[in-house]
Structure 1
């Protein structure tokens, strides 16, 4: 596989069909809007975004990119869904979001073009949708400056994750469209940690993210059985 084409056409088509609903708080993207303050706060607990060159890989309609720009970061959001990017650009214009731009380019292609260019790289809810997640992790490591931070979030692969993220969220609670996730593409924390080590990233913190169906609220937790986040850093002496 050509690493610069590390994308699943079916996945791109799936999200492109929903692109116009990215900023509808009651749409299929409602969970992303609900968890965004949590993941943004967690990122800011590791590094203050004000003034930092920040890259959001797999930005979709720009939910995280927009919020990071509003915290003072200089943000570039990249994705391979042209429809989602158009929605992100339109929202930035309508909301007058400062310091955010968007571009249709893969992580791997951008890594060849702009190595060691960003203080912070985020890749949220994206790794479980590409054929080769390790290639994306390597691209993130290439794109971040020595001493910079790379944040990931994805889904674990185990029985609990299948029951909650697929059966529960997609079929019983209808929180997500059916077919949003494929069990085989989910990534165990040990696997993601191995990808990070091979890419030269040091794992500093792991955080779980859970959903309470009774309160209909998401919260950060120590339980990484389903959704989890990684905070990694590129060593200052990286060669």
Structure 2
């Protein structure tokens, strides 16, 4: 979020100082000096950073305080759900599937939310009929999420992990499960191609190995399934809003909260999926670009802007004037796994 984002511990700060001469004026040098996927060559099993998890564990009790540390996430959550539903509906129509009521889009789908935090998105998707598994590397987050969900019987909270192959709940009723684990461990224990929808919101800029993390998420998606991400772009605008304004001037968040070099640009995600294949003989998830953009049936990026006079977030319309500028800070990303 532009003015309140997940804090990054001081021990992780590579550099929170923006150098315009290296970013705005010399893109080639910038990408060499500050590659967000630089850890791709490292050989680590998990992308989880213990220091970040410890910090979020300390903040976990505040997840459901709508005026507290995560108030902006509460305000952003409806936009995230809106984007997910719009893309699912669009692709169902693209597949010529009949939908009597778009409120049934998520009914019976197996959904994974990676880095679920206190369960804001999980609860919303479950109420729409999804069979949702929320995972987080913080046991405290999982505990708070479970405690909050237990107060609403309609969420059908399960105390044990339900295998993705199990029978979905009856029509119109979603089910919710939480587990203290990582995407890599879910992949190792449950295997690939398990979920119709995989979400990971505001997580990518906090992991140690973003390429490995993205590969794990991608492998968990079923053929023809959907991957939804949200993160923050590495641009001068993002620096001005998240570091200069929010931290140093307005003091809305603790100075040093953001690590600029870990932000990920939309075009970097697009390029990753232009190269990523689910198997040696499979085609890339994004087969080609048109004027630098993927086909809307393969992937899409949409900016998310906070409107202070309305105190709400808005999704930048597709093709709107200034849409590219709208992706300059917070944005949502969707990509679909090709059918096999």
**What is the TM-score when the length of structure 1 is the normalising length?**
0.93
Q: Does 1:63 align with 2:126?
A: no
Aligned-CA RMSD value: 1.7
Q: Does 1:122 align with 2:199?
A: yes
Q: Secondary structure at the match of 1:145?
A: strand
Residue 170 of structure 1 deviates from its aligned partner by 3.7
Task: State the alpha-carbon separation in 1 of the partners of residues 112 and 57 from structure 2.
Answer: 21
Deviation per residue, 1:67-122 (Å, 9 max, x gap): 11111000001110111110001011012323111111111121222210000000
Task: State the alpha-carbon separation in 1 of the partners of residues 130 and 255 from structure 2.
Answer: 34
Q: Does 1:107 align with 2:202?
A: no
Q: Whose radius of gyration is greater, 1 or 2?
A: 2
Q: Does 1:207 align with 2:284?
A: no
Residue 10 of structure 1 deviates from its aligned partner by 2.0
Higher normalized contact order (CA 8 Å, seq sep 6+, divided by chain length): 2
Q: Secondary structure at the match of 1:18?
A: helix
Instruction: Note the residue ranges of structure 2 that are not aligned, 5 or more in a row.
Output: 1-41, 89-104, 157-174, 278-284, 287-297, 317-322
Task: Find the counterpart in structure 1 of residue 59 from structure 2.
Answer: 18
Instruction: Note the residue ranges of structure 1 that are not aligned, 5 or more in a row.
Output: none
Q: Does 1:156 align with 2:233?
A: yes
Match of 2:215 among 114, 138, 153: 138
Match of 2:335 among 205, 217, 232: 232
Residue 165 of structure 1 deviates from its aligned partner by 2.0
Q: Secondary structure at the match of 2:301?
A: strand
Relative to structure 1, the CA distance from residue 71 to residue 94 in structure 2 (aligned partners, 3 Å threshold; closer, same or farther) is same
Deviation per residue, 1:99-156 (Å, 9 max, x gap): 1111111111212222100000001100000111111111111001000000011000
Task: State the alpha-carbon separation in 2 of the partners of residues 131 and 192 from structure 1.
Answer: 16
Contact 1:4-1:109 at 8 Å conserved across structures: no
Residue 17 of structure 1 deviates from its aligned partner by 1.1
Deviation per residue, 1:176-220 (Å, 9 max, x gap): 454442111100112112222333333421100011233322111
Task: State the alpha-carbon separation in 2 of the partners of residues 91 and 4 from structure 1.
Answer: 31
Q: Does 1:72 align with 2:72?
A: no
Task: State the alpha-carbon separation in 2 of the partners of residues 2 and 102 from structure 1.
Answer: 28
Q: Which has the larger share of strand?
A: 1
Task: State the alpha-carbon separation in 2 of the partners of residues 52 and 178 from structure 1.
Answer: 41
TM alignment of 1:29-68, pairs within 5 A:
29-47=70-88, 48-68=105-125
